[in-house]
Amino acid sequence: MPASGIADLPYRGELMFDTANPDPNNQFDAIVVGAGPAGSTFAENLARASFRVALLEEHPQVGVPTHCSGLVSPRALEIAGVDRKEMGLREYSQARVWAPGGATLWLRSDTVQAIAIERDRFDQLLARRAVDAGARLMLGTKARTFRRENGQIAVQATTPRGEVQLRAPLLVGADGAGSRVARWMGVNGKHEVIPAIKADVAFTNGGTDSIEILVGSGVAPGWFGWVIPLPGGRATIGLGATGSARDHLPAFLDLVRRRFGDYTLEHTHSAPIPLGPARDFVGDGVLLVGAAARQTKPTTGGGVYLGIRAAQLAAATASCALAQARALSRGNLSRRALAPYEDEWHRLEGREVTVGHRLRRAYRRLSDRELDWIVATAAQPWAQRLISRLGDIDFPAQLLSALLRDLPRKVWSSPTFKRSNVPTFERDDVPTFERSNAEPVHEPRPELVEGPAP
């Protein structure tokens, strides 16, 4: 898939709502709500298969405001067909974890593990490609209500020029955290949401060269804080926390200043990270992709890679379902016709998310003392070898799972640690990460570690 040039990127405001719809009934094959990475990827893929796609974005500009820190894997850019040299601000092969007591753990790799991108430009590039493929992008257009009508779904939306009603056999909720489409589907049951806040800063002295991860109850209880250095002394910093991220911001800003040097604070932006995934993300004539389906990693909150993967799988299923419906002169799409998307997503990505959830439950229960202990233990050479072998930001659960399973065995043979210092993990908390029989669509992952009995 060719990457569009960045130089001619529009959508910094100039492409407004387009009324020139050739169909006076506003009839489409699919209405996609939300022009984030998941929505635009879905729209591009479906439009390439010659279906009529409406892509609705409530803001007048794609990608703005941005709440994301913009850290993605090389794999995420690769599957999106985006040139990392063109889009990447900076590449990283190491990160440092700071324990509450100040001990540090280096996570190092021989290869680039993460790339910082400008999320607004990234989203604009994907939206532009959707338009180039034939999707109709409607900016400043907010989907308000949804209704079933003769086997189709009618979407009532507000635009800068008033109300509009669109119809399609397929509605796609790509409307992020707090998705209206998910609420309408009734799948937004009880789930964990991490309040997060990010800030853009410019270091006036000091700074750092690696990604910094800060954990502990005084910094970011239940989640973590981060510093992502960018070129020219700039950085994106932020934190998530159970409770309120904003309440913990002053202490976090102080800690960053003490550890990495003085800086000026430019913007802050807070947004929730929904952890999931939703149990059912398809229904009759409707499906969810990306953060709307809570397709995020429960260990890190990252969702760009998972959202794009989901959108590609969903578009492949939707193309078949729409083609079949057309061939049979049927105007509606059943849940059954859309189910292969959900099955395929669970087969390919579900394990990481399930294991990630169990690790998250264990993480939430750790005290600062236990975090200190884990960081100190994981700094040992055996753990470092595991880290360099299994480290992968798209699949953090496989490394964490292997580390936790190996910890006790290594510790008993070490004179450094006392048994009383060792946190106890219930067997259920430390799942074995088994290789799926699925044919991986991404690069093959390294061999996974069999969990030794503690």
d(CA 237, CA 252): 9
Does an H or E element contain 139, and which?
strand 136-139
Residue 56 found at the interface with ligand FAD (CB under 6 A): yes
Residue 59 found at the interface with ligand FAD (CB under 6 A): yes
Comparison of 300 and 377: residue with beta carbon closer to ligand FAD: 300
Comparison of 177 and 404: residue with beta carbon closer to ligand FAD: 177
Comparison of 225 and 307: residue with beta carbon closer to ligand FAD: 307
d(CA 311, CA 39): 7
Comparison of 175 and 370: residue with beta carbon closer to ligand FAD: 175
Choice from 71, 125, 182, 378 touching ligand FAD (CB under 6 A): 71
Choice from 271, 275, 286, 375 touching ligand FAD (CB under 6 A): 271
Total site size for ligand FAD, rule CB under 6 A: 37
Q: Binding segment for ligand FAD among 105-113, 174-182, 276-284, 350-358 (CB under 6 A)?
A: 174-182
Residue 180 found at the interface with ligand FAD (CB under 6 A): yes
Near ligand FAD in 119-158, by CB under 6 A: 142-143
d(CA 359, CA 374): 14
Q: Binding segment for ligand FAD among 23-31, 70-78, 248-256, 336-344 (CB under 6 A)?
A: 70-78
Counting Cα atoms < 13 Å in the Cβ hemisphere of 195 gives 12
In 3D space, the residue among 314, 350, 6, 379 whose CA is nearest the CA of residue 170 turns out to be 314
**Least distance from C-beta 232 to ligand FAD, angstroms?**
19
Which 3-state string (H, E, C) describes 264-327? Answer: EEEEEEEEEEECCCCCCCEECCEEECHHHHCCCCCCCCCCHHHHHHHHHHHHHHHHHHHHHHHH
d(CA 253, CA 7): 35
Comparison of 48 and 119: residue with beta carbon closer to ligand FAD: 119
Comparison of 239 and 325: residue with beta carbon closer to ligand FAD: 239
SS3 category, 346 = helix
Comparison of 80 and 411: residue with beta carbon closer to ligand FAD: 80
- The distance from CA 64 to its chain's CA centroid, rounded to whole angstroms, is 17
Comparison of 239 and 386: residue with beta carbon closer to ligand FAD: 239
**Least distance from C-beta 422 to ligand FAD, angstroms?**
32
Choice from 229, 302, 408, 431 touching ligand FAD (CB under 6 A): 302
d(CA 127, CA 149): 29
Residue 70 found at the interface with ligand FAD (CB under 6 A): yes
Residue 229 found at the interface with ligand FAD (CB under 6 A): no
Contact letters for ligand FAD, residues 33-52 (x by CB under 6 A): xxxxxxx-------------
Comparison of 88 and 302: residue with beta carbon closer to ligand FAD: 302
Eight-state DSSP code of residue 207: -
Residue 74 found at the interface with ligand FAD (CB under 6 A): no
Cβ-contact 144, 56 below 8 angstroms: no
Q: Binding segment for ligand FAD among 2-10, 94-102, 303-311, 404-412 (CB under 6 A)?
A: 303-311
Residue 88 found at the interface with ligand FAD (CB under 6 A): no
Crossing angle (nearest 10°) for helices 37-48 and 119-133: 20
d(CA 106, CA 199): 24
Near ligand FAD in 389-448, by CB under 6 A: none
Near ligand FAD in 102-121, by CB under 6 A: none
Comparison of 372 and 394: residue with beta carbon closer to ligand FAD: 394
Residue 296 found at the interface with ligand FAD (CB under 6 A): yes
SS3 category, 86 = helix
Choice from 29, 44, 57, 342 touching ligand FAD (CB under 6 A): 57
Residue 248 found at the interface with ligand FAD (CB under 6 A): no
Crossing angle (nearest 10°) for helices 396-412 and 368-378: 90
In 3D space, the residue among 243, 239, 240, 245 whose CA is nearest the CA of residue 227 turns out to be 239
- Strand 94-98 and strand 211-214: the pairing is parallel
d(CA 103, CA 377): 10
Question: Tokens at residue 217, please?
Answer: 């109850």
Comparison of 36 and 100: residue with beta carbon closer to ligand FAD: 36
What DSSP string describes 412-451? HT-TTS-GGGSPP--GGGS---PPPSS--SSSPPPPPPPP
Choice from 67, 246, 335, 410 touching ligand FAD (CB under 6 A): 67
Comparison of 90 and 142: residue with beta carbon closer to ligand FAD: 142
User: What residues line the site for ligand FAD (CB under 6 A)?
Assistant: 33-39, 56-59, 67-72, 142-143, 174-176, 180, 196, 198, 238, 271, 273, 290-292, 296, 301-304, 307
